[in-house]
A and B are shown apart, each in its own frame.
Chain A
Amino acid sequence: MLSEGSSFMKGMIMGGLFCLVLSLMTSFTPKSESTADEHHHHHVKAASKEELKHFSDSQVEELHNQVRVFCAIMVQPKTLVYWATTMDTWSKHCDKAVFYTSESSKALDAIDLKEKDDWARLRKALKHAYENAGDLRWFFVAQPTTFAIIENLKYLVLTKDPDEPFYLGKAVKSGELEYVAFDSGIVLSYEALKRLVHVFQDEEKCPERGRALWKLSEDKQLAVCLKYTGVFAENGEDAHGKGLFNSQSADSLIADSLKDHPTDVVGSCCSDMAVTFGGMSPNQMQVLMFGVYRLRPYGHDFHDSLAFYPPEGSDND
C-alpha cells in the first residue's frame, strides 16, 4: 500500500509539473477567441479633417465619384420584415442596392439565387455583384438585421484606392484566422472582389461546398479564400481608434455603457462616425433612421469636405 501511495504522489507531482510546463510553453489562457481589441495589427482609420483639407477642389470631386458603393444585402423570406425595413431605410443611401435571396418571395423583389447553402449563396451573390458593378468600386455586404450609414462608410474609405485590396469591417480573430464578422457588415474594394472571384474558380483553395469536417461560417470561409489571394482582414476605426463596425444595436451598446461607464455613458459607447450596428430590430432601425438623418440640435453645424444629398423619393431621411 505504501508503494501505491508513493506512486500516486509521484504521479501527482509529475502531472503538476507536466501541466505547468505545458501552460508556460503555450502561454495558455482560458479564452480561445479574442476580439480585435487585442489584435490590432491590421486596422484602417478614417481620414482626419486636417488630412482632407489638403485636397484640392477637383481632387475632392474625383474622390466623390470614386467612393460610390454597391450594397449586396443577403435576405431570406423567413426574415421578411427585416428585408422590408432595410429596403425602406438605409439601403436607399447606397449608390446601388441589390437584394439576394435564398428563395423567391411573393411580397418583395430580389435576385433569387435559389441556393440554401449560406456560403454557396454568398459566392453567387459576390460573383453577380462583381459582374454588375458598372463603375462602382466599393462593395458592402450585409444582412438585413444590420443598419449601415453609407455616408460614414464612404468617409472611411474616402482616401483609399479601390484598386488596392481592402477587406474591412469588424475584425475578429478565431485561432489563427482573422476574419471580418458578417453581422457588422463586410467592405470589399474592387481589387479584393476581383481576386476573390478569381479564386472562386480554384476548387482546391476555395471550394464551393466546404470540405471540412465541421462547417465554417460563411464569413470565415470568405476570410480563408481571401487569404489565399493575399488579402487580409482589417478593422475599421475612426480617427480616435474607436471601432466603426458594431455587431450590437446602438440600444444594446448604450445599455452596456450605462452599466460599465455610468459617468461617461455616451463617450465610452460608440463612435460619432459609426458605420454599422448589428442585431437591430425593425423598429430600432426606423428610430436610427430618424436619429441619424433627421434629428439634430439646431445651430450645430459641421463643414465637411464632401456633400451627400438625400435620395430621391424618400420621406424618412
Chain B
Amino acid sequence: MVSCCSECTNHTSNWAGHLCHLSSAQLLDCVSSWKPSPCPCSLSVPSPRPAPVRLKPSLPACQRLPWSSMKAHGSRLSFYAGFAVGTFTLYVFLRQVWFERSVTGQQQAGGSALLHDHQHQVEDEKTIWKKERSALFNLKHPHHRGEDSQMADELYKKVRILCWVMTGPNNLEKKARHVKYTWSRHCNIVVFMSSVDDPDFPTVGLGTKEGRDQLYWKTIRAFHYAYEHHAHEADWFLKADDDTYVIVDNLRWILANHTPEEPIYFGRRFKPYTKQGYMSGGAGYVLSREALRRFVEGFKDKVCTHTTSVEDLAMGQCMEKVGVLAGDSRDTSQRETFHPFVPEQHLTAKFPKSFWYWSYCYYPIAEGPNCCSDLSASFHYVDAGGMYLLEYYAYHLRAFGYKYRFQPPAPNGIDQSSQEKKQAEVDNSSRTDQRQDADHAPAAGKEAAAAPAAK
C-alpha cells in the first residue's frame, strides 16, 4: 500500500519513523487512516531525502565531464599507490629495525664480549705474569689441553731464558703487543726495551733516541740492563726484534747441551767481516751468562766500544774480541734453526744468486724443505697476523697420531730412561707404549741416517 507515510519511510534506507518526524503511534494512525491527501508527512517532514548518492551519478551525457570518471580512477590509483608506498615504507623500516637490532645486538654482544674479553685478559694476566721492575716474569709454562709437556717443563726449569725484545714507543701497540701475547709467554723472563720508560706495558727506557743508527746503542744498553738487573735470574739472554717470532721451547733444546758458564752465543751465523762469523740481528741471537759477562766487562775495559750502528756485526766483532765462541745452532740433521726471513720465503722462494743472502750464510744454504729444522727457533719479518699464525701452527694445529719423521735426540741432561718410565705412567692405558719407546730411542747416528741433511 503506497501512502505518503510509507513513501516517506521508503526513501530512507531503513525504517525510520523518526525521519518522518512521526512517532510510531502517529505513523500507525497514519497508516491505518490513510487518506490520499493531505499527506501528513508533508507537514512535519522536510523534503524527502534525495536518492542516495551513487559513486557514479548518472548525469546526462552532456554533463558528464571527463575528469569525473578519472577522479574515481584517481582515487583508486591513489589507493594502490598508497598501498605500495605503505608496504615499501614498512619493509624498509622493518629491515632497518631488524638489521639494526641484529647488528647492535651483535655489536652489543661484540662490544660487551670485547669488554668481557678485555676484563678476562686483565684477570688472566695476573695469573700469567708477575710484573716486577719493568720485566714480566712468566709464572707458569703455558700448557695445552691433552698434552704431555713433561719434557718441556723440565727444560723450562733447567734452561732459564731471559728474552729481551727491541722495540720503540711507536711500535708497542702495532708489534710488541703481539709478541707479548704470543711467543714471549714461553720465556722465563721477558723485558721490552725501548727508548722510553713505560710502566704499564711495561718497557724499559734505555735513554737513547729511536732509529736504525741507534740500534747498537740500544743493544749495548739493553744487555747492560739485563746483566745489572737479572744476571742471576737467567742462564741465557736472548735478543729479538719486535718482528721476530721465537719458538722458545726449541731454543731450550738447542741450548740444553751447553752450560751458562761456557762463553758461547748462538743465532743464524753469517760469515763476512769477521773471522768466526757473527749472528744475524733480525733472526735473534742468544748469549750464555758468561758471554754476557764478558760483553759487559769488554765495555768496561774499553776492549769493545760502539764501532758502528750495524748492531749484529758490531756485536759479532765484540764477541770475537772477548773470546766468546760463535756456536753452530743447526740441528742434528744440519738444518738451520734461526731464520732471517718468514717460513714462506725459506720454503718456497728461489732467491736470485746475486742476493746478499747467498754470500752471507756461514753454512751451505738449502732451499725447499731442507731449509728449516723441524725444531726451528726463530723467523724474522713476521707481522701481527704472522705471529698468531705461527703460534697456531707450532703450538695448536697438529695431525692426529702422526709420528714425525725427524726424531730429535733428548738433551744430555735429561735422564732418558726415567723420562720414558714417567711417560708410560702418565699414559697408563696407552697401547702405543711399544711404539713410543721405539720412537724416543735416541741414537744420533740413527737420526742422522733417517733424516738426510741434503739431497
Contacts and interface: CB of A to CB of B under 8 A. Distances in A.
Interface of A: 3-5, 7-20, 23, 28-30, 49, 53, 57, 60, 93, 149, 151-152, 154-155, 250-251, 254-255, 257-258, 260-266, 269-270, 272-274, 282-284, 286-288, 290-310, 315-317
Nearest to A153: B400
Contacts of B394: 291, 295-297
Nearest to A240: B145
Contact of B153 (A13, A154, A299, A316): A299
A293 B388 contact: no
A30 B101 CA distance: 12
Contact of B384 (A11, A258, A298): A258
Given A250-B392, A254-B389, A303 B99 contact: no
A11 B401 CA distance: 69
5 contacts: A12-B83, A29-B98, A290-B369, A299-B154, A300-B148
A164 B232 CA distance: 63
Given A18-B83, A266-B396, A283-B344, A254 B401 contact: no
Contacts of B388: 254, 257-258, 265-266, 269
B213 to A, nearest CB: 32
Given A258-B388, A316-B369, A298 B400 contact: no
A208 B239 CA distance: 64
- Which size bracket describes the interface of B in this complex? 35 or more
A278 to B, nearest CB: 15
A251 B429 CA distance: 37
B437 interface: no
A260 B388 CA distance: 14
Given A10-B79, A298-B155, 15 more contacts: A19-B86, A28-B94, A254-B392, A255-B385, A264-B120, A272-B396, A286-B344, A287-B347, A291-B343, A295-B343, A299-B249, A304-B400, A306-B432, A310-B405, A315-B370
A78 B87 CA distance: 49
B391 interface: yes
A7 B76 contact: yes
B250 interface: yes
Contacts of A315: 368-370, 455
Interface stretch (B15-23, B303-311, B319-327, B371-379): B371-379
A308 B399 CA distance: 9
A154 B400 contact: yes
Contact of B149 (A257, A270, A287, A301): A301
Contacts of B408: 298
B147 A301 contact: yes
A98 to B, nearest CB: 22
A263 B455 contact: no
A272 B398 contact: yes
Nearest to A288: B393
Nearest to A304: B401
Nearest to B86: A15
A12 B376 CA distance: 71
Contact of B429 (A5, A53, A149, A293): A53
B82 A296 contact: no
B82 A7 contact: yes
B341 interface: no
Most central of A8, A10, A151, A155 by chain B CB within 10 Å: A8
B401 A308 contact: yes
A30 B84 CA distance: 19
Contact of B98 (A30, A155, A305): A30
Interface string B341-353: 0011001100000
Interface string B294-332: 000000000000000000000000000000000000000
Contact of A298 (B150, B151, B343, B403): B151
B146 interface: yes
Contact of B344 (A20, A287, A293): A287
Given A264-B117, A315-B369, A283 B90 contact: no
Most central of B120, B248, B347, B401 by chain A CB within 10 Å: B401
Nearest to A61: B431
A57 B369 CA distance: 36
A299 B151 contact: yes
Contacts of A269: 388, 392
A294 B432 CA distance: 21
A3 B86 contact: no
Contacts of B84: 11, 15
B75 interface: yes
B85 A307 contact: no
